[in-house]
Structures are given as C-alpha cells and as structure tokens.
C-alpha cells in the first residue's frame, strides 16, 4: 500500500513539474488622480482601466502611480484579483503605490514585501541619491496553484529627474531580485523613465552581469504596437514620444507575444502611457 502511495505521489509530482505555466503579464502606469487632467482624469478612466485588465485576461499586473483610492477603485472592479502594495511616502497609504495585482484563483502568495529605492531601502519614505521623489519597489513570490511552480515578480517606478537615482535604483533592483527570488524565475515590470538605448536599460540587460534580465520585447516571437509608450494623453508629438515602460524576464522564460496596447479604449484614453502586455511561458 505504501509503495502504491509513493508511486501515485511521484506521478503527480512529475506531472506538475512537466507542465508549463502560461502567464499574461501587464505593466500599467495608471496616472495618478489629477484634477488638472480634465476629461482624462481618473473619474472618467477608472472603468476602462479595470476593463482592459479583464479583456486581456491578465494574470499579474504591475501598476505605477496608483493612489490609495484608485487602488480601491480597481479592487472593487476586479474582484478576482488581490493587491499588494503601500504608499511610497509613508509605507502605509500616503502617496503613489507601485502595486501588484494578481489573480487569486491562479496563485498562492508565498511571500511579499517592498523596499525603497534609496541608500536606506528599509526606511519608509526615504528618497534616494539625486531623486526628486520617493521611489518604491513591490515584490511577491507567487505559486501557481496547478503546477506548484513559483515565480518572483517585482514592480517599480524609477525617478523621472535623478540620473544617479535611476542608475543606482536598477542596481538595487537587480541585487534584491536575485536575493529574494532564491533561484525562481524573475519577472520585473515598471516605468523606468529611460529609453531602451539608455545606460539605465543597458545596465538591466547587460549580459556580462549574472544578475541581468532580458527585455521581453527583444525575445518575443511576435511583437505589435507602437515604438513608444508615453504619449501624455495624446498631446505629445509622435516624434517626441519615448519607450519607457517595460516587462523584463530572467533567462529561460519564453516570450510568445509582446504588445504595446492602443492608447484608447471605447474612444477614451486609458492613461497617459500605453500599456505593455507580454504572454510568457515558464517551463
């Protein structure tokens, strides 16, 4: 009887190990609720912001610029998801979040946390280097319920002013991701306020660094959408628009599709950034 039990357990283990985990990942700069945005302000966008996540059947989304009430609006409209994150100004609910949302029917949350992009990462509200704002990273180890495989997900928003803050920020992100992931596959999303040819992004993708990550667009079997992500609600001339939003993955993760989504949904701007979606496979 014991032999039969162990044989069944072994078969189940091998079966789970052999299955791949297919995920739809999104990076979404929501744009903080700013009354000055007029008809593009959050009150007119919150329904489509949630709807676009549903329509693309997103498993995990890394968000940026989300204020507490905006996160509550999203959670109310996305009952199949839960959120991880805190306000960057006080580590509770003040200021913008870099929150992670994930499907509760797909994942078990094994561990999660956050740290500040600064010389003192554990001090809530700390600014780093020459940064203009407090910057935070949110992370989680999530276990796929079906296969029992685990993935490390980290989401952030780099400073828009401080050049040193961006460089030191990505160094800290790579160090912490390597440490916290404990060998599990890594996915990193965010608004990096840096273009693909910048030193910041080259630092992330530098293959001479064993901690490096890969821009999902570079290895995707198919790509679609524009060559830029920030459009300022369509106000920025096309020739001035830049690609600054990313989904990075660790070696061994396959990327089937990478897409920059259209600026509008139902004839309304979703945000002042275009959303990034990647379909990935983890063996």
What is the set of domains in the chain, with CATH numbers? 20-282 (3.60.10.10)
d(CA 275, CA 260): 6
| Confidence class for position 229, pLDDT limits 50, 70, 90 | very high
Q: Which tens digit of pLDDT belongs to each residue from 240-255?
A: 999 999 999 999 999 9
pLDDT of 225 above 70: yes
Mean pLDDT, all residues of the chain: 95
Strand 60-64 and strand 100-103: the pairing is: antiparallel
Q: Are 61 and 100 in contact (CB under 8 A)?
A: yes
What the block records as the tokens of 76 is 């109310």
What the block records as the tokens of 281 is 């496979």
What the block records as the tokens of 97 is 């979040």
**Phi/psi-derived region of residue 117, left when phi > 0, alpha when psi is between -120 and 50, beta in every other case:** beta
pLDDT of 9 above 60: no
Q: Which tens digit of pLDDT belongs to each residue from 31-55?
A: 999 999 999 999 999 999 999 999 9
């Amino acid at each position: 009887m014991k032999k039969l039990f162990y044989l069944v357990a072994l078969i189940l283990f091998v079966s789970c190990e052999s299955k791949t985990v297919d995920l739809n990942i999104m990076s979404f700069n929501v744009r903080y609720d700013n009354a000055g945005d007029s008809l593009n302000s959050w009150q007119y966008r919150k329904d489509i912001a949630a709807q676009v996540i549903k329509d693309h059947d997103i498993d995990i989304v890394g968000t940026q610029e989300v204020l507490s009430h905006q996160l509550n609006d999203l959670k109310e409209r996305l009952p199949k998801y839960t959120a991880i994150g805190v306000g960057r100004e006080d580590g509770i609910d003040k200021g913008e979040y870099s929150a992670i949302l994930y499907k509760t029917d797909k994942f078990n949350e094994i561990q999660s946390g956050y740290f500040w992009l600064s010389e003192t990462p554990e001090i809530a509200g700390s600014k780093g280097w020459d940064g203009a704002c407090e910057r935070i990273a949110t992370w989680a180890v999530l276990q796929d319920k079906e296969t029992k495989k685990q993935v490390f997900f980290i989401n952030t928003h780099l400073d828009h002013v401080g050049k040193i803050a961006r460089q030191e920020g990505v160094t800290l992100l790579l160090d912490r991701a390597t440490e916290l992931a404990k060998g599990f596959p890594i996915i990193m999303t965010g608004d990096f306020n840096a273009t693909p040819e910048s030193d910041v992004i080259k630092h992330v993708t530098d293959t001479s660094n064993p901690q490096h990550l890969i821009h999902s667009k570079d290895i995707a079997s198919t790509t679609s959408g524009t060559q830029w992500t920030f459009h300022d609600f369509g106000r920025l001339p096309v020739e001035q628009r830049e690609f600054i939003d990313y989904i990075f993955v660790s070696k061994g993760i396959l990327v089937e599709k990478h897409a920059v989504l259209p600026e509008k949904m139902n004839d309304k701007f979703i945000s002042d950034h275009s959303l990034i979606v990647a379909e990935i496979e983890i063996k």
